[in-house]
Amino acid sequence: MTTLQWSLLLVPIIGGMLLTCVPVMVMVERWGSAWLQRRSGPNRVGPFGLMQPLSDAIKLVFKEENIPAYSHKILF
């Protein structure tokens, strides 16, 4: 196999690993923070809290921005 073929083979493999590792590390960080702070942590959504990143993303998409009616829009 040539270098180009190896590169074309490794790009999706490494990309898939990164796309898998990032959500897992977010959950590990959240569980670790909860343990350090002696709280229950993200365990409400799905089994063992595994759906928590998805629910956070949905919340972010649908979050509305509250701007007071008589405020200066640019400064606010």
Q: Domain spans of the chain? A: 23-61
Region of residue 56 (left: phi > 0; alpha: psi -120 to 50; beta: else): alpha
Predicted pLDDT at 50 = 77
Is pLDDT of 12 > 80? yes
| pLDDT (tens digit per residue) in 13-61 | 999 998 888 888 888 888 888 889 888 777 777 787 778 878 888 988 9
What is the rounded distance in angstroms from the CA atom of residue 60 to the CA atom of residue 17? 25
Under 8 Å between Cβ of 42 and 34: yes
E-assigned strand segments in 1-76: none
How is residue 37 annotated by DSSP?
T
Predicted pLDDT at 70 = 85
pTM across the whole model? 0.55
